Structure 1
Amino acid sequence: MKEPVIDKRAYIASSADVIGDVTIGPMCSIWNHATIRADRDTITIGEGSNIQDNAVIHEEKGLPVTIGKYVTVGHSAIVHGSYVDDYSLIGMHATIMNGCHIGKNCIIGAGALVTENTVIPDDSLVMGVPAKVVKKVSPSQKAHFKENAMRYVNEAMELLGD
């Protein structure tokens, strides 16, 4: 099994598990009890993204996971075998099933279930079980995405002593 490649400017909590063919970019933060496991395909986490407490990121053979830049994956969320584009927010306890593509600047609401092979267009607010696009995100919500991600970047850099 391949070893993770973790940028020296990334923060990984001591209780987090990062296993296998995982690449974690600069200024990322992986928080307490998060699990990122790539034993059959790859997982790539882009610059400034944060994976919060108890979240699970897992691939499937033939279905790698890519998490773009400045993405927030909330507490206890699951991203499985899918692509999440830049500046999106995956809410607490949301589940993204295999083969999904989450566009840029999206909010996946807390507890939402995005079923297999769903494509979510850029700038979408998604809620429900099963998840549905309910409206476009507002300009003020878009501005909040990077602000939220930067809060975690700043906290991680402080913990790293940068």
Structure 2
Amino acid sequence: MTEPFGAVSAPYMGISPSFLGTPIFVGAGASVLGRATIGRRAWLGSYSVIRADGHHVTIGDEFQLGEHATVHIAHEVYPTVIGSRVVAGRHAVVHACEIGDDCIIEAGAVVLDGSKVGAGAVISAGSIVFPRSDLAGGWLYSGSPARPVMPITQQDLDARRQALGNDATGKVDGPITSHATSPAQFDCFVAPTARLAGDIRLGPSVGIWYGCVLDGGSHGITIGVGTNVQDNTRILCQHDAVEIAADVTIGHNVTLFDCRVDSDSLVGIGSVISRGTVVERDVLVAAGTETTIGQRLKSGQVWAGRPARPIGKMDDRRRAMLAGTLPTYQGYAEQFRQTQHKALLAEGG
């Protein structure tokens, strides 16, 4: 296994992250990047990522970001704005949206582009807030799409916040123990906090982003030219190899097991691609989708749901979106590849 860096920060286009106060905790492998402004008393879990490249991220005081959780933006479209005393649990994703004060985003929940979540709301574990949703504060939301379940009391809000705090131990997900592979051999971007093990074969212009875990086991992982694998995604070979073709986008916090993804496809944020799945060429897998073992996602379709099902056809607009994503992420990767990363320390560090 590659040895992980400590926590890191790095500028984007010459603009470095700004902290209004030194974080009170920074876990191993945490990353804060680019045009991010973060308030006082931040708590950043192991391998958590705050990435402000194509737009800015602004976060209030007492922010808590769990292990392998991700905060990102939409390139030149939406920033991310997070209020004070917000907690995001382990493996949560806050993407290109607005989160009010005192909100709780529980483990594995995803808030998507253009959404607004009012103060004191709770997004329950594993739920998906669909793009451009407007959620009133003071409610518990659950499901995919996230829908209001009941008003949230201050007592329940405090209890949920305490439960997430108790879960934030700073430990990382189970160790990977395969033979180490050095990212120095690759002609592409491998983030310093990504962890790779086993037989990993990466084509030119591939991007393996912050917090990712790639474990080829005894089978191996092959990723084709120009493909990008976004922050905190896990690619795990348990019974067979993983093959990802050229010009594919794998979103943040995706999990892929023993599968194949063909070219010109996108696997959305927080999806789970199960063992034996084949994602054919020209497919869009929506955020939060989960496939069944051995499922085949047919070409030219949009797939969504738990389990995955076709919900529409690919069209010129969607294909243009997928094609435009690739050079954007390749540009990000080249910037960070050429950037010197610095150690990110907590109080007393």
CA distance, structure 1, for counterparts of residue 163 and residue 38 of structure 2 = 19
In the other structure, the counterpart of 2:347 is 160
The Cα RMSD (Å) is 2.3
1:25-104 alignment, distance < 5 Å: 25-60=39-74, 61-104=76-119
1:15-34 alignment, distance < 5 Å: 15-34=29-48
- Could you give the per-residue CA deviations for residues 72-91 of structure 1, whole angstroms, max 9, x where no partner exists? 00000001100111111001
Instruction: Tell me if structure 1 keeps the 8 A contact 2:106–2:164.
Output: no
Larger Rg: 2
Letter in 2 for 1:76: H
* Structure 1 residue 49, shift from structure 2 partner: 1.0
Instruction: Tell me if structure 2 keeps the 8 A contact 1:50–1:149.
Output: no
Q: 3-state DSSP class of the match of 1:141?
A: helix
Determine which of 105, 118, 121 is the counterpart of 2:136: 121
90 and 137 in structure 1: CA distance in 2 versus 1, 3 angstrom threshold = same
- Relative CO higher for 1 or 2, CA cutoff 8 Å, sep ≥ 6? 1
Instruction: Tell me if structure 2 keeps the 8 A contact 1:70–1:149.
Output: no
* Structure 1 residue 121, shift from structure 2 partner: 0.2
CA distance, structure 1, for counterparts of residue 118 and residue 19 of structure 2 = 25
In the other structure, the counterpart of 1:12 is 26
- Could you give the per-residue CA deviations for residues 27-83 of structure 1, whole angstroms, max 9, x where no partner exists? 011110011111111111110010110001001122110111110000000011001
Task: Give structure 1 stretches of 5+ with no counterpart.
Answer: none
Q: 3-state DSSP class of the match of 2:61?
A: coil
149 and 94 in structure 1: CA distance in 2 versus 1, 3 angstrom threshold = closer
CA distance, structure 2, for counterparts of residue 150 and residue 87 of structure 1 = 14
131 and 146 in structure 1: CA distance in 2 versus 1, 3 angstrom threshold = closer
In the other structure, the counterpart of 1:137 is 152
Q: 3-state DSSP class of the match of 1:142?
A: helix
Letter in 2 for 1:33: Y
* Structure 1 residue 8, shift from structure 2 partner: 3.4
- Could you give the per-residue CA deviations for residues 63-120 of structure 1, whole angstroms, max 9, x where no partner exists? 1101111100000000110011111100100011100111111110000010000011
Instruction: Tell me if structure 2 keeps the 8 A contact 1:109–1:125.
Output: yes
* Structure 1 residue 151, shift from structure 2 partner: 7.6
9 and 66 in structure 1: CA distance in 2 versus 1, 3 angstrom threshold = same
93 and 146 in structure 1: CA distance in 2 versus 1, 3 angstrom threshold = closer
Higher mean alpha-carbon deviation, 138-147 vs 53-62, is at 138-147
CA distance, structure 2, for counterparts of residue 142 and residue 72 of structure 1 = 11
Question: % of aligned pairs identical?
Answer: 26
CA distance, structure 1, for counterparts of residue 158 and residue 27 of structure 2 = 27
* Structure 1 residue 12, shift from structure 2 partner: 2.9
Higher mean alpha-carbon deviation, 31-40 vs 9-18, is at 9-18
